A and B are shown apart, each in its own frame.
Chain A
Amino acid sequence: MASSLIIGQYVPADSVVHRLDPRTKIMMIFTFVIIVFFANNAPSYLWLTVFSLGAATLTKIKPRFLLKGLKPVWFLIVFTFLLHLFVTREGDVLTTLLGFPVYTGALIQGFQISLRFFLLILVTSLLTLTTTPIEITDAIETLLHPLKKIKFPVHELALMMSISLRFIPTLMQETEKISKAQASRGVDFKTGPLKERIQAVVPLLVPLFVSAFKRAEELAMAMEARGYRGGEGRTRLRELAIVSRDYIAFCLFFIVIAGLFVLRG
């Protein structure tokens, strides 16, 4: 039960990537997503691949876990490759596959696009693999802090996110309880045509919603009783701090960016 409750796909480990400030990670990954599109030749792609695999190794997460995270997108990567292989018509004809001529340009292009895709997914998944959801919430709250000037409810948004995260397992346990209760009353969730199965969800959702609203009301009252009156004048227990290792990470990342622009043709 507990294993299926892991939110996102955070893998606890004691690595330098885990200990980086979540803001550092978010900013670096955001930049990486942009610079990936600047790579345009073999050395620049190789450079980025070395960086991504290097970062993945530093997380100390078993490659098995990483590949498991990539599972849903393998199909897309392969599909992109094949699409480019058959559609692009550049360079010399290399061979004929299933009656289609395969060009050298197509092979290169297909390979590049799939690699780009792979790198994007790998690096972005490193964020959720090494950062707890609550750290990401805190990072978003501080990163969005300037938006407070235009009356954007940053604190409220972050609190909503953290309360949702806290209640996901509670509501999942409740869903399980309700579905068992309804099954014992003869609701069939597992067999029958699709339409009936969708209809069977209704007796599950209605009590779940009713109880969620009740919970929300009680939680609001408990929060008020505990002195919650909005973000004004609040202090924080969880504090984010940029330390030397974050500066080192930034420097290394800057070298990666600089290297990319030197290497690209």
Chain B
Amino acid sequence: MTTEQVIFNNVSFRYAEDQPWVLKNVNFSIKQDEWVAILGHNGSGKSTIAKLMNGLLFPDEGEIYVHGIKVTPDTVWDVREKVGMVFQNPDNQFVGTTVRDDVAFGLENRGIDRNIMIKRIEESLLSVRMTDYLLHEPHRLSGGQKQRVAIAGVLAIQPNLIILDEATAMLDPRGRKEIMTTVNDLRRETKVNLVSITHDLNEITGADRVIVMNDGEVWLETVPRELFKQETALRQIGLDVPFTAKLANRLQTDFEFSQQPLTQKELLDQLWTFHSNK
């Protein structure tokens, strides 16, 4: 038994015969209890990876294994049992007429007993702090709240792997913060495998590992701290590092950081300790 949750083995994919390859020979694996961020600008193939992971698409070449199962049209329902996915558009993934019905949707599909269903809905809404909105209709919720409901719907099915496919891309800064707080809290409270797909480097600070995609290929596999040092290279493939990293990189010339700061707090801590040690 391997600890690898997801394995991409020489995966190539294109939408049609006469279309260019969207993914070219992609290799990577995700270990048990790991949070991996997949980063890339638009059209880098990062969303295709998400769809390949739960059998919404199938690779043209290579193999994908999720939780030890090879993803094929025959095993797709077994794979989806284990994979929960949150999409980009908050409105277009809300199926139920109320929050409660929407969280129930995935459970109903799996034929889960009603009493267990009620308990799981309660628990999952509690962990995204949406319990007070149990009977609200989707049009009375903000984008961030809808995405939190979508996360609750995923948590309720107790998956091995949660994929956030640009779950914050359509939200305002406040909604974005809501979702990132929820995700970070989740990581702290429950050990769950997480794949977050994004083009925003602000959202990868909590990740254990980052896979940077460019033009359908794995461009770099590293940890967030190392990634933030490569400001110039990232800019060339259309990605921008957060302000904290930029500032740190600029200060680097006169100032010796013990390690690359990830967050504003880390940067401040290093600056003031430097100042008081002087």
CB of B139 within 8 Å of the partner chain = yes
CB of B253 within 8 Å of the partner chain = no
- A20 to B101 Cα, complex, angstroms: 21
CB of A183 within 8 Å of the partner chain = no
B117 touches A222 (CB 8 A): no
Known: A227-B110, A228-B109. A222 touches B139 (CB 8 A): no
The B73-92 residues at the A interface (CB cut-off 8 A) are 77, 80-81, 83-85, 87, 89, 91-92
Known: A219-B93, A227-B110, A234-B109. A169 touches B101 (CB 8 A): no
The B20-54 residues at the A interface (CB cut-off 8 A) are 54
- A238 to B121 Cα, complex, angstroms: 13
**Which residue from chain B places its CB closest to the CB of A134 in the assembled complex?**
B97
A225 touches B111 (CB 8 A): no
The A204-240 residues at the B interface (CB cut-off 8 A) are 214-215, 218-219, 221-229, 233-239
In this complex, the interface size class of chain A, counting residues with CB under 8 Å from chain B, is: 20 to 34
Contact indicator per residue, chain A 157-195, by CB within 8 Å of chain B (1) or not (0): 000001101100110010000000000000000000000
B113 touches A235 (CB 8 A): yes
Main secondary structure of the interface of B (DSSP, over half): helix
Q: Which residues from chain B contact A235 at a C-beta distance below 8 Å?
A: 107-108, 111-114, 117
CB of B100 within 8 Å of the partner chain = yes
Known: A2-B140, A237-B117. A229 touches B93 (CB 8 A): no
Q: Which residues from chain A contact B251 at a C-beta distance below 8 Å?
A: none
Select the residue from A134, A234, A237 with max chain B CB neighbours within 10 A.
A237
- A85 to B171 Cα, complex, angstroms: 64
**Which residue from chain A places its CB closest to the CB of B50 in the assembled complex?**
A225
A227 contact from B87, B118, B157, Cβ within 8 A? B157
* A187 CB, nearest partner CB in chain B, Å: 25
Interface size on B, residues (CB 8 A): 39
Q: Which residues from chain A contact B93 at a C-beta distance below 8 Å?
A: 218-219, 222
Q: Which residues from chain A contact B104 at a C-beta distance below 8 Å?
A: 237
A237 touches B91 (CB 8 A): no
A218 touches B89 (CB 8 A): yes
A166 touches B94 (CB 8 A): yes
The B222-263 residues at the A interface (CB cut-off 8 A) are none
B137 touches A228 (CB 8 A): no
A215 touches B92 (CB 8 A): yes
A173 touches B109 (CB 8 A): no
Closest 3 CB pairs of A and B: A222-B93, A237-B104, A169-B139
Show 14 A/B contacts (Cβ-Cβ < 8 Å), sorted by A.
A134-B101, A163-B95, A166-B138, A169-B138, A170-B139, A219-B95, A222-B95, A225-B85, A226-B105, A227-B77, A234-B108, A235-B108, A235-B113, A237-B100
Known pairs A166-B138, A222-B92. 20 more at Cβ < 8 A? A166-B97, A215-B91, A218-B87, A218-B93, A223-B95, A223-B105, A225-B80, A225-B83, A226-B84, A226-B85, A226-B109, A226-B153, A227-B81, A227-B157, A234-B109, A235-B117, A237-B104, A237-B107, A237-B108, A237-B118
Chain A: residues with CB nearer than 8 A to chain B? 2, 5, 134, 162-163, 165-166, 169-170, 173, 214-215, 218-219, 221-229, 233-239
